[in-house]
Structure 1
């Protein structure tokens, strides 16, 4: 069956069936944007449920102290990371990525529909994070480290003030070899979990969905990780991984849909970003707002980062999620306020995108509820758009990124293209303040992509341009 035929079947099933007791037509009447979404159009949804940041943060129950505790744990493990991964020695075992001004790219799109309306465009290059080359190095690696620490403490292997370089010693690896770590993934989370778990000595299992890239599966197997493949999408891989892990009390399942540990690991990024922005003389404020655009799959990574940014910068950090037009699960979930009770497939979308890390049909309920009153909005971007931007970024800025890492770049243009949003910003900030704004697109992955795969993506993007 061709892809077009499969898509037509999905649409037909959505039209004939009901979604939570309502027809598609009723959903479209209540939320007119759904009609555009079902046609795979790029759309922008502005969140009308925002509350004052302090009040919204209190409602979440997650605190700054918890984020700082996560940062402290990562610092404790820095000596281990330097020993296990020599590439981290230059940063003293701290996993962090650079900021990059992309002026040539901004100038190239200036007179197009996707031009940046005001301020400076920058990239946060999580694509170049050490160990696993993506944003998942933050949450994924953190969660496995906290699990390893807990097991070691319970076994009496950790003493107060101990140098955590010891976690690289044979006795620790022998101890962890009795335990397993499992995760369901479209790719990048599986890479981070698999690589760090194997380095510590755990047996690692990664349940991979059909859309995961072949090179990611091959790399995991090369690292000694067991890769279990499914013909279905991300949700099935997660559910099967969770079910298998429940059978073994010595298996720890990293739950991308609901994990507070992943969330806190991602949130640490905000503390690090503050120091980087201080370094370039920029402070988010009434006279210089910050706008951040985060590629979104199930929501854990961008959710944690956005939450951290709100904790640190308050109302002057404006956060938006970016999703593929084929997989806008968080957009649908938050717009309808039904979160994980609805999926993109329910509305006839195929959940097939070149942005494999974002190919998620059903969003995280945990993240959706935490950000319900904090996230400014969500927009979608087509595969062709991501590929065109990928090639432009490679040609003009010599930055080689994977498709999903380009998802956020059209975000700034939506601020002006959405008249109500632009009018609201003009009321909140003076023209001078908007001219001093920073637009930060989070480049979530790319440095580990094989050269031949990257070259093909760049060439395909050039053709689209």
Structure 2
């Protein structure tokens, strides 16, 4: 279905504004008062559903190139996706508080190339930029396949260009992996939250790392400023990029295929709830947009944020007329979930998903470590703290639905976002924290 901006999203402030629990740094579930029936929601936002399938088509065109560049996706013929894993009945009951039947894990912590959901956006945008340059120079098209972008001629072209991005770690790595494989120069501006090992692995693949003694928003600003001073470059703007958004959105088609292949019913009488870790918002926003386009009101999309960094919650709750930050509400943006340590949400995403997202849940760092430990010990799932956030949000969300007399989902899906490439010594530190 196409979209239009003729009916703008509702912008007045909801009566509850930002809940007191959020201001106090306490875990909470905020049910979105701006949510509309899906058919109305897509008429109220600017982005177009047709772009989801367009992104999926582009991923298919690039598959031969990815298979050529990366051995770990050759068996899948260049397709980047992750498995949909079941949890044991016992663990599912713990996750849901025994309020839902099934818990599944969309395992992007094990995504090929990067071990993080950011590959879906970061890799995609770099590929689009490479496509533009190659088409301009006649390196692809007219019977020349996209695997030609791995040639020395293509690498010579790309080596004249620089990719710039601001990151807490995972997006930068995704851009670095594909960028360096194609021959681009890569400059990653990293926030004070970024882990030392994430900086080291970027340097190891030949990326230039610029360290900022400031938060994520300032790292993005630094990358933006650096890009403005040079030619032959492409700035990947995590706060405003439609390419990132739709690169992520194509993942909804993959999940929909897996759900149907598993014989899971998805209907308004048997809804599915999907829990999406949220930083600046691009990944969960794109995925939610795609899922709502496919399943409509039969899917519930819940964003999950740390109690210190609920940037999307405060943005949606206060309205979308102006950008707000968590600092305005007395919060410090200090969290062990470095991938979610973002003080200000993407306004592009906030405006695009305001009528679509069902709820935003905030969770404590303690709960993240607890679930990292439980999932490793009982299911062998290796996560970094931010990737465990969805599990911490399931039971509070279901309890909130029950209190409101709303229909409970029959299936809950926690989307994991990183962890399989966590170095062993770093993972041991996380597990030690989980045991305290």
Using the size of structure 2 for normalisation, the TM-score is 0.93
Structure 1 residue matching 2:250: 3-state secondary structure? helix
* 1:95 and 2:80 correspond: yes
Going from structure 1 to structure 2, the CA distance change for 1:105 and 1:177 (only over 3 Å counts) comes to farther
Instruction: Give the match for residue 61 of structure 1.
Output: 46
Report the CA distance shift for 1:30/1:408 in structure 2 as closer, same or farther (over 3 A).
same
Determine the structure 1 residue equivalent to 2:278: 296
Counting only pairs closer than 5 Å after superposition, residues 170-189 of structure 1 correspond to structure 2 as 170-189=152-171
Please tell me whether residue 375 in structure 1 is matched to residue 357 in structure 2: yes
* Aligned partner of 1:320 among 277, 283, 302: 302
Contact 1:84/1:199 (<8 A) preserved: yes
Match of 1:395 in 2: 377
Residue of structure 2 equivalent to 1:142: 124
Q: What is the aligned partner in structure 2 of residue 20 from structure 1? A: none
Q: Does 1:386 find its partner at 2:368?
A: yes
Q: Is the alpha carbon distance of 1:224 and 1:105 closer, same or farther for their aligned partners in structure 2, counting shifts above 3 Å?
A: farther
Which position in structure 2 is the counterpart of 1:252? 234
Q: 1:249 to 1:266 in 2, by over 3 A?
A: same
Counterpart of 1:281 in structure 2 is 263
Which position in structure 2 is the counterpart of 1:35? 20
Q: 2:343 aligns with which of 361, 384, 388?
A: 361
Query: Is 2:420 the partner of 1:447?
Result: yes
> Which residues in structure 2 correspond to 1:211-226 (within 5 Å)?
211-226=193-208
Deviations along 1:206-257, whole A, 9 cap, x unmatched? 0000001111100000000000000000000001110110111211000001
Equivalent in 192, 195, 202 of residue 174 of structure 2: 192
Cα distance between partner residues in 2 of 1:249 and 1:280:
49
1:24-61 CA-to-partner distances (Å, cap 9, x unmatched) read: xxx9x964754322322101100111112012112223
CA-CA distance at 1:268 after TM superposition:
0.2
Shift of 1:414: 2.3
Residue 107 of structure 1: how far off its partner (Å) = 4.8
| Unaligned segments of structure 1, at least 5 residues | 1-26, 427-433
Matches within 5 A, 1:62-77: 62-77=47-62
Does residue 166 (structure 1) correspond to residue 139 (structure 2)? The answer is no
Q: Which residue of 2 aligns with 1:406?
A: 388
Q: Please name the residue that 1:21 is paired with.
A: none
CA contact (8 A) 2:92 2:103 kept: no
Question: How far apart in 2 are the matches of 1:459 and 1:216?
Answer: 20
Give the whole-Å Cα distance in 2 for the aligned partners of 1:43 and 1:210.
27
Partner of 1:352: 334
**Alpha-carbon distance, 1:451 to partner:** 0.6
2:70 to 74, 85, 98: 85
Paired residues, number: 424
Shift of 1:116: 4.3
8 Å contact from structure 1 (residues 141, 196) kept in 2? yes
Gaps of 5+ in 2: 1-12
Among residues 90, 106, 118, which one is paired with 2:100 in the alignment? 118
State the 1:419 CA deviation: 5.4
For the residue of structure 1 that corresponds to 2:304, the secondary structure is strand
Q: CA deviation at 1:75?
A: 1.2
Q: Is the CA contact 1:345–1:351 (under 8 Å) kept in the aligned structure 2?
A: yes
User: Which structure has the larger Rg over C-alpha atoms?
Assistant: 1
Alpha-carbon contact 1:198-1:224 (below 8 Å) kept: yes
Greater displacement, 114-123 / 269-278:
114-123
CA distance in 2, matches of 1:340, 1:40: 23
Change (3 A) 1:93 1:421: farther
Contact 1:392 1:462 in 2 (8 A): no
Residues in 2 aligned to 1:293 and 1:340: alpha-carbon distance in whole angstroms: 26
Residue 245 of structure 2 contacts residue 285 of structure 2 at CA under 8 Å; is this kept in 1? yes
What is the distance in 2 between the residues matched to 1:424 and 1:109?
A: 21
8 Å Cα contact 1:324/1:383 also seen in 2: yes
* C-alpha spacing 1:168/1:38, structure 2 compared with 1 (3 Å): same
- Give the corresponding residue for 1:308: 290
SS in 2 for 1:90: coil
Q: 1:334 to 1:198 in 2, by over 3 A?
A: same
Q: Is the 8 A contact 1:339 1:364 kept in 2?
A: no
Deviation at 1:155, TM superposition (A): 1.4
Q: 1:178 to 1:79 in 2, by over 3 A?
A: same
More deviation, 152-161/301-310: 152-161
TM-score, with normalisation over the residues of structure 1?
0.88
Q: Is the 8 A contact 2:108 2:417 kept in 1?
A: yes
